[in-house]
Amino acid sequence: MADSATSVRPVTAPEIAARKGSGTPIVMITAYDAPTARVVADAGADVILVGDSVANVVLGYDDTLQVTVDDMVHHVAAVARTRPRPLVVGDMPWLSYHVSVPDTVQNAARLVRVGAGAVKLEGGRKRLDHVRAIIDAEIPVMGHLGLTPQSVHALGGFKVQGRDLEAARAIVDDAVALADAGCFAIVLECVPDAVARLVTDSIAVPTIGIGAGRHCDGQVLVFHDVLGLEDRTTPKFVRRYAELGTDARTALAAFAADVRQGRFPSSDETYHAADTVADEIARYGQTSAGADPVADAPRSGGGEPRSVGAGHSA
């Protein structure tokens, strides 16, 4: 069932494009399922990116190359089912836009059909034909330049990009080409801030940075990084606003200890039959076990079954 926020009009790609120069930076945060989407939407983000980083932070892979269109459809659909106010951008996974142009458009359409309002793909001039074809099919495209994790092998690892003049100029030229092709925004990942500034000043659509410094029109971080759920590695550009991984381990260890020490569940966390019924049940059990039906009957309070939380019924 759709969330209660169904009446909220979602942010659109043209609205994000129009934020260029507004003075209020765009906030984009990743999410991969319904609960994370609700948290990101409630926090007031402008854009939810269903990133292929799902590979690393949710699915346990070491890189994003393992993620398929089917995987992305599954996660975009889960996010979109919450009908969030932020624009939902679905990441196109590796090889979904590298082969034929018709297949590229069909793959983008699959993400839109399950609720994405736009798609994102990595690469610049090399991918222009594919970018144009998706835009031609009326699907807004967000570009992604700098460190493009799907090119990890070609780049020789996860490294800062655009460190020399030639590489910096190539990123600017790619950004100009993507903007000219009609991309509504461009992610800049792991580039020096001087490069991000030049790109931002060179194009008429917003740049959204991650590890690209402050001279961008917006910022994006990965949900699990911001909240300390992915705490195995912390890139330089991540600021952690919570330590949910630590909090979760502490909470679950407390639960385990309570179970092992007999402290969970308490009487309040237990359904009780009415006294008379409890007596009958006890008598029945003891009769069938050959014991005294009355003497050993436990006394228990009554109680109606109660709802134990959203989506659970007694």
Does the protein bind ligand KIV through residue 30 (CB under 6 A)? yes
Instruction: Compare residues 29 and 112 and give the one whose CB is closer to ligand KIV.
Output: 29
Q: How far is the CB of 48 from ligand KIV (least distance, A)?
A: 11
Does the protein bind ligand KIV through residue 225 (CB under 6 A)? no
Does the protein bind ligand KIV through residue 150 (CB under 6 A)? no
Q: How far is the CB of 7 from ligand KIV (least distance, A)?
A: 29
How big is the chain by its Cα radius of gyration, in Å?
Answer: 26
3-state secondary structure the chain: CCCHHHHCCCCCHHHHHCCCCCCCCEEEEECCCHHHHHHHHHCCCCEEEECCCHHHHCCCCCCHHHCCHHHHHHHHHHHHCCCCCCEEEEECCCCCCCCCHHHHHHHHHHHHHCCCCEEECCCCHHHHHHHHHHHHCCCCEEEEEECCHHHHHHHCCCCCCCCCHHHHHHHHHHHHHHHHHCCCEEEEECCCHHHHHHHHHHCCCCEEEECCCCCCCEEEECHHHHCCCCCCCCCCCCCCCCCHHHHHHHHHHHHHHHHHCCCCCCHHHCCCCCHHHHHHHHHHHHHHHCCCCCCCCCCCCCCCCCCCECCECC
Instruction: Compare residues 135 and 142 and give the one whose CB is closer to ligand KIV.
Output: 142
Q: How far apart are CA 118 and CA 73, in angstroms?
A: 13
191 phi/psi in degrees, rounded to 5 = -130, 155
| Piece of 47-55, 254-262, 263-271, 297-305 that binds ligand KIV (CB under 6 A) | 47-55
Q: How far is the CB of 147 from ligand KIV (least distance, A)?
A: 9
| Piece of 9-17, 50-58, 172-180, 305-313 that binds ligand KIV (CB under 6 A) | 50-58
Amino acid occupying residue 220: V
Instruction: Compare residues 66 and 286 and give the one whose CB is closer to ligand KIV.
Output: 66
52, 174, 217, 230: residue in contact with ligand KIV (rule CB under 6 A)? 52
Specify which residues 118 forms β-bridges with.
89
Catalytic option among 189, 230, 269, 304: 189
Token pair 């655009």 is at which residue?
Answer: 162
Q: How far is the CB of 167 from ligand KIV (least distance, A)?
A: 19
Token pair 């330089």 is at which residue?
Answer: 236
62-101 residues in contact with ligand KIV (CB under 6 A) are: 91
Q: How far is the CB of 49 from ligand KIV (least distance, A)?
A: 6
11, 45, 47, 51: residue in contact with ligand KIV (rule CB under 6 A)? 51
Active site residue 138: no
Q: Select the residue whose beta carbon is closest to ligand KIV and give its number.
A: 51
Instruction: Compare residues 90 and 192 and give the one whose CB is closer to ligand KIV.
Output: 90
Show the site string, 173-212: x = touches ligand KIV by CB under 6 A, - = not.
--------------x-x--------------------x--
Q: How far apart are CA 293 and CA 113, in angstroms?
A: 63
Burial class (CB in 10 A: 0-12, 13-18, 19+), 267: exposed
Instruction: Compare residues 178 and 282 and give the one whose CB is closer to ligand KIV.
Output: 178
Instruction: Compare residues 31 and 282 and give the one whose CB is closer to ligand KIV.
Output: 31
Instruction: Compare residues 74 and 272 and give the one whose CB is closer to ligand KIV.
Output: 74
| Piece of 1-9, 49-57, 228-236, 253-261 that binds ligand KIV (CB under 6 A) | 49-57
**Residues lying near ligand KIV in the complex (CB under 6 A):** 30, 49, 51-53, 91, 187, 189, 210, 220, 222
What residues are annotated to the active site? 189
